[in-house]
Structures are given as structure tokens and as C-alpha cells.
């Protein structure tokens, strides 16, 4: 850990994709048992962190429709204050690029970057393991961002095993609708009993065999998502990420991603990004993940 830190500390909060997502059961508490492959993108939000000595936490700008007490970045910072028992505060500026409710993990990634970044800024010295435990209390996807490596996820997505995936280019498209995760997981027709597979079998099958068990339900509930999936699938292998709404296409070269973006030509909000096995957050902070 460096002995001094230049402020503000400017850190990435990368997007993630679920390269595949199987739902293998439903627990008595209503949560679903999953098997998934997480991978990062070289695209996401940015947090700028500056320390305060008065214990106050200030986040700018406010996110429309999100109360301060529900904001994951502030909740992460408060959890870290409580864990450390210290009266340190922070000014946090969030530059938001990822759509809310898009299945890209933006809120979870922001929370993870706040945990990891403030731990560094405040000199707390908490381990990534402990930060991931704190993150799990905020959301099931937060630990993968804290740990910072592409992973095979099980349970509700919190049991993680690092993996090395192919790193193609992706074009990610937002269909312009907000998908309700509770509505998807509450749908009667949702596939909930896909037979479990091993991580080795999933990796051996490769990207051409990967699927998302939520996709059929999301297609039915949200016709604009179905339209995007159909349109993209005619041009490249394409899949829903998480419960959506975003859909990603896998391309072998950057030039292919550029061509697809040119064809989209503003029809939907879209961006290109490279798949990464190591989080940009860990790269910036010098972790050996």
C-alpha cells in the first residue's frame, strides 16, 4: 500500500457481463440458486474520492429516483465507517455511464469501488476478503467486483471461483426499457430447474454453448428486449446479461464491433468494450488478482 495518496482518488467502476446464467433451483427464502460466469468490461462508471475529517459522506450528483439512504455507494461508505469505527468521511463524485437496471452491475460495481477505494484512502488496511463480506450485505454482485477477477459464480452469485475466459470485443445494447428483476424471478414460467453442471464442463463447452435462463421470460415480458435480441442475433452471437435489459454481442475483432455499432447507428443506445479477466479497479490500485 502506498504511504501517500494523491487526492482526489479517481477509480473505475467497470461493467460486468454474465457470459452465461443458469437457474438451478429456488431456496426456501425465495432467492434463486444460480450458476454463472462473470466477466468485466473496459467500460463503466468513475468515482472520485476525497477524504474528510468530519465524518460526513457527500455524494454528487444525486441519482434520479434513488433516495440517499438507498444509494449503494453511500451504504458502502457507511458500512466501512461502521466496520472501522473511525470518524472519517468523504466527498464522492460519481460519473455515471452505465444504465441503471441494465444487467451490467453498475450499482454493485460503484459500491465495490467505494469499499475498495475508501479502504485505501482512509488507510484502513482491510483485506479484500473482508471487503467482499461487507459487500455481500449490499448485494449479491458486489463481491465479484471487490475480488476483481472473472469468476464462476454459484449460490446467489456470491460463491466465486476465479476463471480465465476468452476476451473478445463486445457490443452492448440497451433496448430503452427498465427490467424489473423481481418481476423476472417471480414469473411462473421462469426456468428454475436447469441441471447443475461443473465449472469445468461449462468452460469446456465454450461461449457457443452458453445461455441465459432468464432470456425467454424477459423476451415475453419486455418486447423491446426481444426485438434487440432478434436483431443482434442475425449479425453476431448475442445474449442477455443478468435479467437485462442490456443485450451483448460477441465479436472477434474491434473492427467487427465498430461495424456493428455503425449498423446500429443510433437505433438504440450502445457501446463497444473489450472483455477483461482482471478488473480495471485492481489494475489502477496495483492488486495482484
> Mind telling me the catalytic residues?
16, 141
Kindly give the pairing relationship between strand 57-60 and strand 89-95. parallel
Rounded CA separation 221/188 (Å): 12
Rounded CA separation 140/157 (Å): 6
| C-alpha cell, 234 | 442475425
> Which three-class secondary structure state does DSSP give residue 163?
coil
Residue with cell 467497470: 14
CB 243 within 8 A of CB 214: yes
Alpha-carbon torsion, ordered 40, 180, 240, 106, to 10 deg:
-20
Rounded CA separation 114/75 (Å): 9
Maximum Cα interatomic distance, the chain, rounded to a whole number of Å: 56
Alpha-carbon torsion, ordered 282, 285, 286, 287, to 10 deg:
-50
Beta bridge partners of 212: 21
| C-alpha cell, 1 | 500500500
Amino acid at each position: 500500500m502506498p504511504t501517500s495518496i494523491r487526492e482526489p482518488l479517481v477509480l473505475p467502476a467497470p461493467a460486468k457481463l454474465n457470459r452465461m446464467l443458469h437457474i438451478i433451483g429456488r431456496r426456501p427464502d425465495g432467492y434463486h440458486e444460480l450458476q454463472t460466469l462473470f466477466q468485466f468490461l473496459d467500460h463503466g462508471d468513475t468515482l472520485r474520492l476525497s477524504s474528510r475529517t468530519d465524518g460526513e459522506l457527500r455524494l454528487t450528483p444525486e441519482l434520479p429516483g434513488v433516495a440517499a439512504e438507498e444509494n449503494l455507494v453511500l451504504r458502502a461508505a457507511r458500512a466501512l465507517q461502521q466496520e472501522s469505527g473511525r470518524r472519517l468521511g468523504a466527498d464522492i463524485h460519481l460519473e455515471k455511464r452505465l444504465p441503471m437496471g441494465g444487467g451490467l452491475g453498475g450499482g454493485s460495481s460503484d459500491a465495490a469501488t467505494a469499499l475498495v477505494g475508501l479502504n485505501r484512502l482512509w488507510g484502513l488496511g482491510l483485506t479484500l476478503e473482508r471487503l467482499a463480506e461487507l459487500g455481500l450485505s449490499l448485494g449479491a454482485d458486489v463481491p465479484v467486483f471487490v475480488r476483481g477477477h472473472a469468476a464462476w459464480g454459484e449460490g446467489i452469485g456470491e460463491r466465486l471461483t476465479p476463471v480465465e475466459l476468452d476476451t473478445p470485443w463486445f457490443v452492448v445494447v440497451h433496448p430503452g426499457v427498465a427490467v424489473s428483476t423481481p418481476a423476472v424471478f417471480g414469473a411462473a414460467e421462469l426456468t428454475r430447474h436447469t441441471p447443475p453442471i461443473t465449472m469445468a464442463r461449462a468452460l469446456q463447452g465454450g461461449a457457443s454453448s452458453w445461455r441465459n435462463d432468464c432470456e425467454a421470460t424477459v423476451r415475453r415480458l419486455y418486447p423491446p428486449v426481444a426485438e434487440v435480441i432478434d436483431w443482434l442475433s442475425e449479425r453476431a452471437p448475442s445474449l442477455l446479461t443478468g435479467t437485462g435489459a442490456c443485450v451483448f454481442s460477441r465479436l472477434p475483432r474491434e473492427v467487427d464491433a465498430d461495424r456493428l455499432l455503425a449498423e446500429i447507428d443510433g437505433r438504440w443506445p450502445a457501446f463497444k468494450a473489450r472483455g477483461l479477466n482482471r478488473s480495471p479497479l485492481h489494475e489502477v490500485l496495483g492488486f495482484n488478482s
